[in-house]
Structure 1
Amino acid sequence: MTEPISTTCPYCGVGCGIRATVAKGAVEISGDPSHPANFGRLCSKGSALGETTDLEGRLLYPEIAGQRVGWDRALDLVADRFGELIAAHGPDSVAFYVSGQLLTEDYYVANKLMKGFIGSGNIDTNSRLCMSSSVAGHKRAFGSDTVPNAYADFEQASLIILTGSNAAWCHPVLYQRIVAARAENGTRVVVIDPRRTQSCDIADLHLPLRSGTDAHLFNGLLAWLHAEGCMDAAFVDNHTEGLADALAQADADIPAIARACGLRAGDVRRFFELFRDHPQTLTLYSQGINQSSSGTDKVNAILNCHLLTGRIGKPGCGPFSLTGQPNAMGGREVGGLANQLAAHMDFANPEHGDRVGRFWQTDKLATQPGLRAVELFDAVAAGQVKAVWVMATNPAVSLPNADAVRAALGGDVFVVVSDCVRHTDTTQYADVLLPALAWGEKDGTVTNSERRISRQRAFLPAPGEARADWDIIADVARRMGFGAAFDYKAAVDIFREHA
C-alpha cells in the first residue's frame, strides 16, 4: 500500500479534496478532512472514484486515420496541417474547442498558442454552455468576471436562496452544508424552481415559478425593496451606477408579478419580506439560471438586488454562481473563452492587449474575439474553419443541435481529438487521435466555484503512451516554430508563468 495522495475530485465545481491510496492494484478514495471545500465529506460519485481508474476503453496510443502511429508522426501531421491552413487561409481558419475537464495549466498553454502565436481568438470551451451567462452578468455588473463569495458564507448566512439549482443532486456536498447550517443556525431556505426537487425538502418556501420568469421575479424584488426603503444609499451612491435605468425596467406590483410568474401573491410577498428581513442573504444560482436565452439578464436581475441592498462583499451574503465542471473557473481565469484574452483581460482594452503581447513576447496576438462554441461548429460546417482540435470533451453529444455538429465534423475539415477515451461520438470523426492523461494521472491545478485553487496530484503512472494535455499542446507549438515560448518541463513551470 502507498501513502495517501491528496488531490482533488474531478467531477463538479465544488472542488472537494480527496485522498487516494493505491493498494494491491486498487484505488481507495476517502475525503480529505483538511480541505476547506468539503472537510472530508464526499458525495456518492466522489466516493466511487476508485472505480474509474481502470484502463478499459482508454486511448493509449496516437492514431492517424484509425491506425496506431508514433508521437512524432502524429504531432508532425497536426503541426504541418495547421501551419498549411494558416498560411493559406489565415489564422481564423483553425480553432480549438476545449473543456472544463482540463487543468488550468492545460487551458493556459492552449490559450497562449491560439491567441498569442497562431493569432486567432478561436478557442472556446464547453464551459460556454453552462457558465458564460454568469461571466457576462459579472462583467456587466462588476466590470470583471468576479465571484464575490466563499463557501464559508454558507454558515454565516441567515437566508439562503436556491434559484435554478437542485443542489441536493448537483452539488450534494454544498447542499449538506446548507442542511447543517439550517439545523445549527436556523438558516431559512427558499427554493425557486418550476419543479419540486429534492432540494425543496429543507425549504421554508418553494416558489414553483413559470419557466423563464426568473428575471421578472427578481426585477420585481428590486423594485419592491426600493419602494420599501431597503436601499443601502451609501453603497449605491459610492459603488454603483444605473439604478434609475434598472428600476425603470422593474415593477413592484406583487399581484402583477405573481400573475407573470404563475405564483401565489402571498408566496411572492413572503419571499420579498424574507429578503428584506435578512441582511445576511446568500443567493445560490446555477444552470437553471445560466442555461437560458436570457441567462445573462437573469444573472443581472439577481445581482442587482444584492447591489441595491449592499449585500455583497460581506460575510454571509452575496450572489454566488455554482459552477458545474471541475475547472470551468480555472479556464475563465486564464482566458479559455473566445471573448477573453487572458487573466481577466479583454480584447476591447488596448492596454490589455499590449500587456499580454509583451508578457508573451509575441507580435501575433489576436486582436478580436473568436468564435463561440456554437458559432465555431457552424463555421466548421460552412467551411470557414478548416481545422479543429477538440480537447477533453465530446461536442458531438454535448453541444446543442448535435446532429448538425456531427455533420460538420464529418465534412471537409481536419479534426484532431485529444482524449483519454478511445471511443466517443466525437473520436469517430478524428483524423488524428492523441492519448491524454486521465484525472488520476494528472499533475497541476484546478479552481472551484469559490475561486479556491487546489492541487491535482498524480497517484497513478501514465498508461501506454498517454501524455499531459499541456505537454501535447506545447510539443505542437514547438513544431510550429514557437519553441522558445513553449519550453515547459513540468506543470509547475506553467503555473509560475501564469501566476
Structure 2
Amino acid sequence: MDAVRTTCAYCGVGCGILATRTGERSVAIKGDPEHPANHGRLCSKGTHLGETVGLEGRLLHPMIGKKRASWDKALDLVAKRFRQTIAEHGPDSVAFYVSGQLLTEDYYVANKLMKGFIGSANIDTNSRLCMSSAVAGHNRAFGEDVVPASYEDLDSADLFVLVGSNTAWCHPVVYQRIRARCDAGAKLVVIDPRRTETADEADLHLPIRPGSDVALMNGLLAHCRTNGLIDESFLARSVSVPEDFWDKVGEGSDLWSVAKACDLPPADLRRFFELFAAHPRTVTLFSQGVNQALRGTDQVNAIVNVHLATGRIGKKGAAPFSITGQPNAMGGREVGGLASTLAAHMDFAADNVARVERFWAAPNMACKPGLKAVDLFRAVGEGRIKALWVMATNPAVSMPDAGRVREALAACPFVVVSDVIAETDTSKFAHVRLPAAAWGEKDGTVTNSERRVSRQRALLDLPGEAMPDWWIVANVARRMGWRTAFAYDRPAEIFREHARLSTYQNDGARLFALPGQAAIGNEAYDKLAPFRWGGEPFAEGRFPTPDGKARLVPVQQGPLHEPLPKWPMTLNTGRYRDHWHTMTRTGLSPKLARHRDEPLVEVHPDDAAELGLTDRGLARVSTPQGESVFRVTFSTGQRRGELFTPIHWTDQQATGGRTGLLPRPLVDPHSGQPGFKATPAAIAPVALGWRGFLLATGEAKRPDCLWATRVRVPGGVLYELAGEGEPGQLDALLPKGERVEAFDRARGSRRVAVLQDGKLAAALFVTREGLLPSRDWLIAQIGEAAGPAVLAGAPPGAREDRGPIVCLCFDVGLKTIVQAVASQQLTSVEAVGAALSAGTNCGSCRPAIRRLIEESRSAVNG
C-alpha cells in the first residue's frame, strides 16, 4: 500500500507524516521529508503514532445512557432536547465546548450551528486554556490574531528568547531547528522559573519569579530606549504610541528594580539585555508559561512591545512567535471556535455580525460574545446552561477547579459527549455519547503555529459506527430544522465555504483570507499541498488596523503572588515529553507510557528536607480548591517554595495525580484564560504501610488502594501500588492459574507469580520495608514461559541493567549511555548518537544525554 501524506495528531508544530497501512489496524509511521514544517523529523510521540491506532477503549456505537442506540435515535434525541431547551429558556441556555483536536471543517460546522442558527455565541474551546491570551495580545497590538513569524525565521535568527516554554519537550521538532541554528553560532536565552531540559542547553537561563514577565520585558524595553535601540523611523511610520507610554515603561524599570521584582541576579539580567542589544535578528518564542497567567495578555503585549519598538518584526529572523499547543488550535481561531470571536477573524462589531449573517443566510445570528470556558462551566453549575455538548475534549480533567466542573456536569439536565474514547472522566456524566472518528480515520485540514494549512487524510476505515465530527454536527443541525444550510456531503464542501467566507467583503482589512481555495475542486482538495496564509505579514510595515499601524500597549507589572500561611508553596503545572493531554492516545503506547509512568510532584531538595518529604515517597498536594496525591521527586531545577505537577493523569489511569483539581478558576481579564501557573498550595508527606506493583496480561481491574497508577506495557498493564496500613484484597486482582509464592515475614514482603500453561500471566510484588525489583525484566517475561525464577524479579546470574529509558526512539537506557561514555570516551551528543543512535531522531533526549556526558566528565575530573 502506498504511503498516505497526512499531518500529526499532536502539537501545533504540524509535522507532516507518511503513514503506510500495514494491516487492518496497523500503520507504519515516517516523517514526511517534503513537508515544510518538519522536513522528515518527528518527535517521540509522532514516531510512535502507529501504537495508538488500535480499537482499545474506543466508543464504536451511539449510546443513550448505558444502552446502545441507533444513530437516528441518538441524533433525534440530541436535536429534540436542544430544540426544547432553546424554546423554553432561550438560545443562551445551551452551549458547545469544543477542542483543538477537531479539524477545521468540524470546527466550522459547529461554530456555524451555534452562532448563526441557534443564535448564541456560547461555543468555546479548550484552546481557551492554552492560547487565548496570545489571541488577545495579537488583537490589541496588530488589530488581528496574526502570528507574525514562520519556521523559516528560526533558520536565520541570531538570538532565540524562549519564554515560558520547555520547547525541547513540548515542541521537539521546532527545538531541533533552534539547536541547529545555535550550533552555527546563534545564542539561546531561556526564561522559565524551572530549570528544564531546554534551560540546560541555554547560553543563559533566567529562573524568573512566576508572574514577573511584564517587569522583565518593560525593563528590557527601558534598556533599549536608554541605549538608542528604539527604531524611531519604524515607530513613526508603522506604530501608534500612546502619549504616556514611555513614562509608564520607565516606572521601576531600572536594572536593580527589575532584578528585585524578578528575583534574578543583576549580572544575569544585564547579560540578557546585552545579548538582546547585540543581536537584532531575535525571535522570541512563548507558550503556556506566558499565556496561562492571570495577566497573560499583558505578558504577551510586553513581549510584542519590545519587538515593535525595536523594529524586530516583519523582518527575516526577527519576530515574536506564539507556538501553539494543539494540532488545530490555530484552525479553530480562524473559524470562530472561541466564544469571543466570529468566523474568519471577525469580532462582534455590528457590521461583522451583519456580514456573517448575510453570508450564512443565518436566521438567528448571535450579536454578542458568548461565555468563555470558565464562565461557561460556572453557568452550567448555576443552572443557566441546561444543555451542553462536549466535543473531543475532557473538561472534567483539564479545566481548573475540576471538582467544581464535575459537580456542574452532574447537575446539567442534558449532556452530550462526542468522542473517540468510550470511558473518560467527562463521558461518565453524558446522557448521550456519540462515537467520533479518530486520527487516521478522518479527513480535513489543520493549521499549525506558523499559519500553515495542511491536510489530515484518512488511511483507516471508520470502525464500528464511528463518524466524523462534522457529519455528527451537521446531522443534528438538519434535525433541528436547518437542512439546506448543513447539507454537506464531504469536508471539501465545508472547506470551500470556509474559504469563501474568509474573502467575503474582505477588502484586505483582515489578513486572514484563503482566496485561492474558495473554488477548489474535490480532487484538488484531496491533493492539497501544505500552504501558509498571509504570506510574510507586516513586511511592508502595514497592520490590519483602521490606520494601518500597530499599537504599543501600555502594560505594567501587577502585584506578585506572595506565600500565604496556610498555602506557603506556589504550584506550577505543565506537560511531560511523551504524554499528551489526558493520555487517551499516548496511554495506549507501551513505549510512550514508560517515560514518566507515574504523576510526579517536583520539589526542591531543601524544601523537601524542611517538609519531611522523601524522594520517591508520596505526598499530598492541596490548594483551596482540592487535593491529590503525587509521587515525590527531588529537583534542583525547582525554585525554592515552588512545586511542579503534570496535567495528564485522570481517574482512568490513577487514584492520584489529578492536577486539574488544584488550580483556581481565576482568569485573565482580557482573554478569559485561566492562570494555571501560580496557584497557592501546600504539600505534606503521606505515611505508607506498604508499596508494590502488579503486572498482568491483558487488562486488570484497578486495585482499591491509596496509590494505583496504570500504564500500558508490552503484553499487558503495570500498576504501581502503595497504601496505608496493611495491603487489602490484592489477591482478588490476580487471574486464575498456578500460583508460585514467596514470603519474607521480617520485611513484610510477598511475591506472587501466576502461571497459565507455564507462561507468566501476572506478578504481584508487595513489601513493607524491603526492596522491589526493577520492572523491566518482569515486563519482558509477560506471556513467556516462566518458572520460580520470576519471584526474584531477575534471571539467574548477572544481567545488563539498562536503567531508565532516556532515548525512547531507539530504546536506549541511562546506564547504557553512561557505560558507553566511560568505556568509549565519548565527549559529545553526536558521538553518543554515532555509538548508540540515541538522540539522532527527534532529539528531545539530547539535553539529557548532554547532561550525562557532563556528569561523567565531572566524576572523572572530580
* TM bracket, shorter-chain basis: over 0.9
CA contact (8 A) 1:222 1:247 kept: no
Contact conserved, 2:418 with 2:434, CA < 8 A, in 1? yes
Which secondary structure does the structure 1 equivalent of 2:244 belong to?
Answer: helix
**Which deviates more from structure 2 when the two are superposed, residues 286-295 or residues 349-358?**
349-358
TM-superposition CA deviations, 1:91-132 (whole Å, max 9, x none): 000000000000000000000000000000000000000101
Give the match for residue 287 of structure 1: 288
Letter in 2 for 1:160: F
What is the match of residue 250 of structure 1? 249
Measure how far apart 1:455 and its partner are: 0.3
Amino acid at match of 1:295: G
| Partner of residue 73, structure 2 | 73
In structure 2, the partner of 1:377 is 377
**SS at the partner of 2:434?**
strand
The answer to whether the 8 A contact 2:385-2:412 is kept is no
Distance, in Å, in 1 between the alignment partners of 2:372 and 2:242 is 31
User: Match of 1:195, as an amino acid?
Assistant: R
CA distance in 2, matches of 1:303, 1:231: 14
Which has the higher Rg, Structure 1 or Structure 2?
2
- Tell me the amino acid that sits aligned with residue 6 of structure 1: R
- Would you say the 8 A contact 2:418–2:433 is kept in 1? yes
Does the 8 Å CA contact 2:160/2:188 hold for their aligned counterparts? yes
- Paired letter, 2:277: R
Match of 2:360 in 1: 360
- Matched letter for residue 285 of structure 2: L
Q: CA deviation at 1:413?
A: 2.1
**In the alignment, is the contact (CA less than 8 A) between 1:168 and 1:198 conserved in 2?**
yes
Q: Is the 8 A contact 1:326 1:447 kept in 2?
A: yes
Q: Encode CA deviations 1:179-225: one digit per residue, 9 max, x unaligned.
A: 111113x1111111111111123311111111111111001111111
Q: Which has the higher contact order (CA 8 A, sep 6+)?
A: 1
The answer for the alignment partner of 2:308 in structure 1 is 307
Residue 17 of structure 1 is matched in structure 2 by: 16
User: 3-state DSSP class of the match of 1:305?
Assistant: helix
Shift of 1:370: 0.4
Listed one character per residue, the Cα deviations across residues 268-309 of structure 1 (whole Å, up to 9, x for unaligned) are: 111111111211000000000000001001000000000001
How many angstroms apart in 2 are the aligned matches of 1:293 and 1:242? Answer: 25
Q: Which residue of 2 aligns with 1:126?
A: 126
Distance 2:445 2:233 in 1: 39
Q: Residue 24 of structure 1: CA displacement?
A: 3.4
State the Cα RMSD in Å. 0.9
State the one-letter code of the partner of 1:87.
Answer: A
Q: Which has the higher helix share?
A: 1
Deviations 1:353-374 (A, max 9, x none): 1111111011311000000001
Q: Does 1:180 align with 2:180?
A: yes
Paired position in structure 1 for 2:196: 197
Distance 1:464 1:44 in 2: 29
Residue correspondence of structure 1 range 155-304 to structure 2 within 5 A:
155-184=155-184, 186-251=185-250, 252-304=253-305
Tell me how far apart the structure 2 counterparts of residues 366 and 300 of structure 1 sit (CA, whole Å): 29
1:404-435 deviation per Cα after TM superposition (whole angstroms, max 9, x unaligned): 01001101420000001000001100000000
Deviation by residue 1:234-253 (Cα, 9 ceiling, x = unmatched):
21112212354332322341
Letter in 1 for 2:278: D
1:476 deviates by 0.4
- Counterpart AA for 1:328: A
In structure 1, the residue matched to 2:431 is 431
Contact 2:57 2:423 in 1 (8 A): yes
1:60-99 pair list within 5 angstroms: 60-99=60-99
Give me the whole-angstrom Cα distance separating, in 2, the residues matched to 1:366 and 1:226. 45
Q: Structure 1 CA distance, aligned partners of 2:124 and 2:70?
A: 28
Aligned-residue identity in percent? 64
What secondary structure is seen at the aligned counterpart in 1 of 2:338?
Answer: coil
For residue 29 of structure 2, what is the aligned residue in structure 1?
29
Unaligned 5+ runs, structure 1 = none
Amino acid at match of 2:201: I
Q: Is the 8 A contact 1:380 1:413 kept in 2?
A: no
* In 2, Cα distance between equivalents of 1:374 and 1:489: 35
Following the alignment from structure 1 to structure 2, what is the Cα–Cα distance between the partners of residues 137 and 163?
15
- Return 431-440 or 268-277, whichever deviates more: 268-277
1:142 partnered with 2:139: no
* 356-365 or 337-346, which deviates more: 356-365
Letter in 2 for 1:8: T
Paired with 1:243 and 1:221, the residues of 2 have a C-alpha distance of 19
Q: Quick one: which amino acid aligns to residue 72 of structure 1?
A: D
Deviates more, 1:359-368 or 1:282-291: 359-368
- Give the Å deviation of 1:62: 0.3
Q: Secondary structure at the match of 1:249?
A: helix
- Work out whether residues 441 and 461 of structure 1, in 8 Å CA contact, stay in contact via their aligned partners in 2: yes
What residue is the counterpart of 2:718 in the other structure?
none
8 Å Cα contact 1:17/1:37 also seen in 2:
yes
Give 1 or 2: higher strand fraction.
2
Per the alignment, residue 319 of structure 2 pairs with 318
Offset of residue 255 of structure 1: 1.1
What is the alpha-carbon distance in structure 2 between the residues aligned to residue 366 and residue 139 of structure 1? 21
Q: 4+ runs of 1 displaced by more than 2 Å?
A: 242-252
Post-superposition offset of 1:61: 0.3
Q: 1:306-326: CA deviations, max 9, x gaps?
A: 000111011101100010000
CA distance in 2, matches of 1:245, 1:491: 50
Unaligned runs of 5+ in 2: 500-862
Measured in 2, the distance between the counterparts of 1:179 and 1:310 equals 25
Match of 2:231, as an amino acid? D
Rounded to whole Å, the distance in 2 between the matches of 1:413 and 1:380 is: 9
Instruction: Indicate conservation of the 8 Å contact 2:387/2:412, yes or no.
Output: no
Farther-moved stretch of structure 1 (172-181 vs 200-209): 200-209
Worse-matched range after superposition: 223-232 or 109-118: 223-232
Q: Is the 8 A contact 1:192 1:206 kept in 2?
A: yes
